[in-house]
């Protein structure tokens, strides 16, 4: 899985966790729904600006979107 695909998957999970539609996230991040759909599907590359807009709109730390949820148990 590429970093873009991993970040996109984490963004989709966080959006769903907050019960937000793509339309609501688009309004909050000021990005088009079509671009958010591409990002969530890992299509193309996400810019730092887009990434920060999405994190702000989701009210989360950008690291959570990069690394995934802290709720996932880690293997030792």
Across the range 10-36, mean pLDDT stands at: 96
What is the pLDDT, as a whole number, of residue 74?
Answer: 40
Query: Residue 68: is its pLDDT beyond 80?
Result: no
Class of the CATH domain delimited by 3-67: mainly alpha
Query: Residue 33: is its pLDDT beyond 80?
Result: yes
How far is residue 33's CA from residue 60's CA, in Å, rounded to a whole number? 20
Cα–Cα nearest to 56, from 34, 27, 33? 27
Supply the pTM of this predicted model. Answer: 0.83
Asked if residue 35 lies in contact with residue 44, where contact means CB atoms within 8 angstroms, the answer is: no
What is the pLDDT, as a whole number, of residue 27?
Answer: 97
């Amino acid at each position: 899985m590429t970093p873009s695909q991993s970040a996109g998957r984490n963004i989709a999970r966080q959006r769903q966790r907050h019960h937000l539609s793509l339309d609501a996230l688009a309004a909050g991040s000021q990005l088009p729904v079509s671009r958010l759909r591409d990002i969530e599907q890992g299509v193309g590359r996400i810019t730092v600006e887009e990434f920060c807009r999405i994190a702000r709109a989701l009210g989360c730390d950008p690291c959570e979107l990069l690394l995934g949820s802290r709720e996932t148990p880690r293997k030792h």
